[in-house]
Amino acid sequence: GAVVSQHPSRVICKSGTSVKIECRSLDFQATTMFWYRQFPKQSLMLMATSNEGSKATYEQGVEKDKFLINHASLTLSTLTVTSAHPEDSSFYICSARENPWTPQVSGNTIYFGEGSWLTVV
């Protein structure tokens, strides 16, 4: 079945540095990928929608200069947390949907990465 791989699964970085998280669709093409952030015991909050070959669309309240998203190919999107601070520590998850996307179709689905734990010290 379709698989989305996220890397790294865990990363610890120093405050002020930048860290990159990769999201790859392994056996399908994904025009659109989504990036979520999740705090403990809370739901997934959509940060941005990543579109291949164009700029990402950020949700209200998400700083686009801090959370850089690049979707250079149909199988890879990256999230770079720049000048990370301890409050950026969180669980980040990406998801990808196959092309073509038909949300009305019952069997159509979105595939999720395994998630990345970011700890900023």
Partner 1 sequence: TQLLEQSPQFLSIQEGENLTVYCNSSSVFSSLQWYRQEPGEGPVLLVTVVTGGEVKKLKRLTFQFGDARKDSSLHITAAQPGDTGLYLCAGVGRVNKFYFGSGTKLNVKP
| 89 counts as binding partner 1 under rule CB under 8 A | no
Q: Identify residues 29-48 at the interface with partner 1 (CB under 8 A).
A: 32, 34, 36, 41-46
Residue 83 CB, nearest approach to partner 1 (Å): 26
Q: Judged by CB under 8 A, which of 7, 28, 68, 112 binds partner 1? A: 112
Contact present, 83 and 67 (Cβ < 8 Å):
no
Q: Judged by CB under 8 A, which of 93, 98, 118, 120 binds partner 1? A: 93
- Strand pairing category for 4-7 and 19-25: antiparallel
- Cα dihedral sign, 78-25-59-41: negative
Contact present, 1 and 109 (Cβ < 8 Å):
no
Residue 67 CB, nearest approach to partner 1 (Å): 16
